[in-house]
Amino acid sequence: MIPPIARRFVAGESAAAALDHVRRCNDREIKVILNLLGEHYTDPVAADEDAREYATLLEDLAGTDLDACVSVKPSQIGLDVSEARFRDNLRTIVDRAEEHDQFVWIDMEDHTTTDPTLDAFEEIVSERGGGMGLCLQANLKRTRDDVERLTDVPGKVRLVKGAYDEPATIAYRSKERVDEVYGELLDYMFEQYDGGIAVGSHDPVMIDRARELHDAYGTSFEIQMLMGVREDAQEELAREYEVWQYAPYGSRWFAYFSRRAMESRKNALFALRAVLGR
Ligand code: FAD
């Protein structure tokens, strides 16, 4: 069972619990991106199993009136086994989503996965004319080129700052520089994209910049934040904009929760207070 301290960040262990969470969010006008926790499978059986679980989840969602989609990690559905396995499993998930007019996001992992992830996304989303989105990371020096490459590709792009500790040869390492690049990439996307921009950030500065760019160019966008982070802001922003909450679920919740809890001092203090019962 997930202890109360972790429930802030994780929607539950089962798909049923995750769907209950979606309903509670939808009641607050917040849509939900569900992520089944799991990554770095070298066993093809585990990768295929999670792909099937996503397909079942999409089926379950289709039978409801809930506003939700899914986000998958490449190494969860086979990239650490082979590129072919990843693509096959991605197609399985996207096929099921397409049957029910649902949306599939692809998370972006460390820089060694960027090329195969981007190539698979570009190929599959182009065949289908949409229905998919890809995450790009502002901390990688290559991302300006990737953002430009996707300008006329159907589908959405979620821009994040980047969660992986990447080497200085290929990534900006200072927070100031990453923030600066994030803002510049937003400028480009709002000017050049037809829409389909997802601002994957809790940063009020970036969200304000996106709002200003939206006012200037009229380009549609959505805001995406993680479950358990700035939930008040999510609710407030949802009164005016499309807000999606990224909500992980599943039995492998401990590693994810530990990352979230330690990520910022604020979250660490929250965890400590909960442990101490204060
Ligand atoms: P930060 O630079 O961490 O913080 C900026 C400001 O935001 C802070 O000064 C504060 O004002 C506010 N803030 C941030 N956290 C809190 C908090 N806990 N409480 C209150 N205020 C806070 N990374 C990847 O590499 N690949 C992915 O696929 C990926 N997907 C993501 C999907 C979503 C929906 C989101 C939101 C993030 C995702 N990330 C992903 C993580 C991302 O790369 C960042 O590591 C993470 O979002 C932290 O950066 P930030 O933009 O939120 O702001």
- What lies within 8 Å, CB to CB, of 130 at 6+ separation is 154, 155
- By mean pLDDT, which of 106-120, 157-171, 187-201, 245-259 is the weakest? 245-259
Nearest to 230 by CA among 263, 259, 268, 201: 201
The predicted model scores a pTM of 0.94
Query: How far does residue 203's CA lie from ligand 1's centre (Å)?
Result: 7
Would you say the CB of residue 160 lies under 6 angstroms from ligand 1?
A: yes
For residue 221, the SS3 value is strand
Would you say the CB of residue 164 lies under 6 angstroms from ligand 1?
A: yes
Average pLDDT over residues 111-118: 98
Residues 36-56 pLDDT 10s: 999 999 999 999 999 999 999
How many domains are contained in the chain? 1
Number of helices and strands (H, E) in the chain? 11, 8
Query: How far does residue 47's CA lie from ligand 1's centre (Å)?
Result: 27
- Asked if pLDDT for residue 273 goes beyond 80, the answer is no
Would you say the CB of residue 174 lies under 6 angstroms from ligand 1?
A: no
Query: How far does residue 64's CA lie from ligand 1's centre (Å)?
Result: 30
Query: Residue whose CA is closest, atom 53 of ligand 1?
Result: 203
The strand pairing partners of 275, in sequence order, are none
Would you say the CB of residue 39 lies under 6 angstroms from ligand 1?
A: no
CB 74 within 8 A of CB 107: yes
CB 194 within 8 A of CB 165: no
Output the pLDDT for position 247: 98
Query: How far does residue 263's CA lie from ligand 1's centre (Å)?
Result: 9
Query: Residue whose CA is closest, atom 43 of ligand 1?
Result: 162
If pLDDT is split at 50, 70 and 90, which confidence band does 4 have?
A: confident
CB 69 within 8 A of CB 33: yes
CB 121 within 8 A of CB 77: no
Would you say the CB of residue 266 lies under 6 angstroms from ligand 1?
A: yes
Indicate the average pLDDT of the chain. 94
Q: Buried b vs exposed e over 224-240: b needs ≥16 C-beta within 10 Å?
A: bbbbbbbbeebeebbee
Query: Residue whose CA is closest, atom 6 of ligand 1?
Result: 203
Would you say the CB of residue 97 lies under 6 angstroms from ligand 1?
A: no
Give the domain CATH number at 134. Answer: 3.20.20.220
- Asked if pLDDT for residue 270 goes beyond 70, the answer is no
Residues 12-34 pLDDT 10s: 999 999 999 999 999 999 999 99
Output the pLDDT for position 278: 41
Query: Residue whose CA is closest, atom 33 of ligand 1?
Result: 200
- Tell me which residue range forms the domain holding 49: 4-276
Residues acting as catalytic residues: 107, 158
